[in-house]
Chain A
Amino acid sequence: MAEPRMRDITMAQAIRTALREEMKRDEKVILFGEDVAQYGGVYGATTGLQKEFGADRVRDTPISEMAIAGMAVGAALAGWRPVAEIMYCDFLAHAADAIVNNAAKWRYMSGGQFKVPLVVRSPAGGGAGYAAQHSQNLEAWFCHIPGLKVVMPGVPRDARGLLKAAIRDDNPVVFLEHKAHYTYKGLVPAEEEVLPLGVAEIKRQGTDVTLVAWSKTLTFALEAVEVLAEKGISVELLDPRTLQPLDVDTLCNSVAKTGHLAIAHEAVTFAGFGAEIVAQVTEHAWDSLKRPPLRIGAPFVPLPYSQPMESFVIPQVADIVQGIEGLLDGTRTGAR
């Protein structure tokens, strides 16, 4: 089989490509959110789409997160496929009623009479000095709600393929992008590619330890894998890509192979999604584990503004390297 033709594009371009392809394919796909139409989104993910698809299908809204999310639910109930943008995931707190109480439950509560095919896209994450109210990673909130799916892509190919799947999915999907990651480049097939939700990908094969990472932390993990390889440690890097549903089989198979589990994520460790991964593996693959699993995440603090403090809080490449070294030699020093 011929290798697919690839293009090197940014995360923002990958997202835009997915939106454009899906809007072309299905006229029921509509877009709205703050500054998404004429301005093209504050991170440029929707640039040009209003021009291409018209003001009916791509709309700027007022600053009204409750209305944006609630309207998406209503339109989805009526058979449309809205993709709503919430400018920062922190403001999903304003939109949470519609997402958590309505979108997630309408199908179930109605005994399956309705479906709610919507996507809420929203930038998450820190690292750019936006301080505590514009830098959070809230994936654990939404993973806890039955009825929602949660996607956090780490590379442009996944962003494009998974967003397309999310738009086609008949369930509400919270699609979290990383705001410091929109200019990150990667290869994406020129041809259409839809990636299934709920399927993890082994980004690097390895034998000594399974490292699970997603979103922007995946790029740090990729670097850490290189550093550790030079030290003779072979890391298997797994990106779950969708956190809900979570691909537990691929995860457990990897741990069965390596015997060690480490999870790196940018969110606060306490009650973070890493805890769920640890629980799944200890429940389903306890016998594979040679040592207790390790979580590498942020300490229990809001994200500070100032550079030295911010980089201290956000797990860096060195934190992952040290954490894994400590896990394997049994000292666990240097881990956070």
Chain B
Amino acid sequence: MAKTDAALLLHFYEDMLRIRFFEEKIRDVMLPQKLFRGSSHLSLGQEAVAVGTVHALREDDSVISTHRGHGHAIARGMDMEAMFAEILGRRTGCCRGKGGSMHLSDASRHFIGENPVVGSNAPMACGLALAARLEGSDRLVASFFGEGALNTGAFNEAANMAALWSLPVLFVCENNLYAISVPVEKSSAILELENRACSYGLSGRRRSGMDVMEVYETVRGLAEQMRAHPAPVFVVFDTYRFEGHHTADKQSYRTKEQVLEEFRAHDPIHLLERAMIDDHTVSLDETIAYRDRTRTEVEEAFARALEAPWPDPKEALEGVYAPGPEAAAASKGVV
């Protein structure tokens, strides 16, 4: 900690608070008032992995995420108003209302987007990394996924490919112990998840995902190494989702006590706050000021998003194809 500069820590702190308050808004306001559709997958409890990883990357590195990607998007600097507007289904949403909570993306920030098809983003990450290599760039690609995704064919093919072709993909496994209801012990034949990398010739690491500094230092080191010698890296961060799989999950597969006692005690935001106060990086009063300020920022983004217009239903027909001679062929389905 002592080595780290205070401004950086405070920046992490702010971003983790943004994620926390953003998602609490979804849980506490948008859910009861039915302001979004489908389901929303909250990453409360996992903020340190998003913030530590993304901040250890360069702005031109690509990030590709999962259904649980609000945190990655915010850490990437996405505009919270555009994110809220998207989840509300408004025209001003980052995807013009076409994507919703599971499909946030922002090309301008190299946030390729959330991809809720589990495992599917790993091969895409390889393609993004291949592009960087072909261009002679030292850009990296971070691919986030849960421990459940390790069992997909897509991940396994991508891991081999990345190693075979020395593609600079940072495979970031957010091990939150559950894939919907299935605990990791019932989905993975080996529990040393980092060792799954060995069979592909990848180097594997495993660290705490609750300590943002540990995440940051780990990824920073790996990124430096990957830029110097392009090759994929696999890192497992142990973390926990405080909420259900999605907003409607009753969590019949785990007990409330387990959640609260074991894991809330390791709340990544509290851990950082405590560390910063102990270190005199910040005073208790200042943490309160930070919280108030960030909460207001989130409130204002939400209030503005609520004012945003709805799309015209016919906008559904736009944007299927890039403009070109065939664009007119996008029929209306009228036969």
Contacts from A to B (Cβ < 8 Å): 34-35, 38-39, 42, 60, 62-67, 90-91, 94, 128-134, 268-270, 294-295, 297-302, 304-313, 335-336
Contacts and interface: CB of A to CB of B under 8 A. Distances in A.
Given A39-B181, A129-B38, A312 B148 contact: no
B179 interface: yes
B252 to A, nearest CB: 7
A309 B313 contact: yes
Contacts of B154: 94
A305 B187 contact: no
Interface string B190-230: 00000000000000000000000000000000000000000
Contacts of A130: 37-39, 100, 102
B37 A304 contact: no
A134 B39 CA distance: 11
Interface in B297-325: 310-317, 320
B243 to A, nearest CB: 16
Contacts of A91: 117
15 contacts: A34-B180, A39-B180, A60-B182, A62-B151, A90-B117, A129-B36, A130-B102, A133-B102, A299-B316, A300-B332, A301-B316, A306-B90, A306-B93, A306-B98, A309-B311
A336 B332 CA distance: 7
Contacts of B179: 34, 62-63
Contacts of B99: 131-132, 305
A18 B72 CA distance: 43
Contacts of B332: 299-300, 336
B55 interface: no
A49 to B, nearest CB: 14
B311 A306 contact: yes
B97 A306 contact: yes
B310 A308 contact: yes
B335 interface: yes
Contacts of B253: 38-39
Contact of B330 (A67, A301, A306, A313): A301
Contacts of A304: 97-98, 315-316
B116 interface: yes
A129 B37 contact: yes
B148 A62 contact: yes
A307 B188 contact: no
Please classify the interface of chain B as helix (H, G, I), strand (E, B), loop, or mixed, using the class held by over half of its residues.
loop
Q: Report, as a range, how many residues of chain B touch the other chain.
A: 35 or more
B159 interface: no
Nearest to B329: A300
Given A269-B335, A299-B333, A66 B116 contact: no
Interface of B: 36-39, 86, 89-90, 93, 95, 97-100, 102-103, 116-119, 148-149, 151-154, 179-182, 186-188, 252-253, 310-317, 320, 330-335
A133 B313 contact: no
B153 A309 contact: no
Contacts of A310: 37, 316
Contact of A63 (B97, B187, B314, B334): B187
Question: Could you say which of B311, B312, B320 has the most chain A C-beta atoms within 10 Å of its C-beta?
Answer: B311
A309 B335 contact: no
Contact of A35 (B37, B100, B119, B182): B182
Nearest to B87: A305
A62 to B, nearest CB: 4
A8 to B, nearest CB: 25
Contact of A133 (B37, B117, B148, B187): B117
Contact of A94 (B38, B153, B311, B314): B153
Contact of A298 (B118, B152, B186, B333): B333
Given A35-B181, A129-B100, A130-B38, A94 B335 contact: no
B320 A131 contact: no
A300 to B, nearest CB: 5
B100 A63 contact: no
Contacts of A268: 333
A144 B106 CA distance: 37
B188 A305 contact: no
Given A39-B181, A64-B151, A306-B97, A336 B333 contact: yes
Given A129-B36, A270-B333, A299-B317, A65 B152 contact: yes
A256 to B, nearest CB: 22
Given A94-B154, A302-B320, A308-B313, A131 B100 contact: yes
A335 B39 CA distance: 32
Contacts of A298: 333
A306 B315 CA distance: 10
B311 A63 contact: no
Nearest to A70: B153
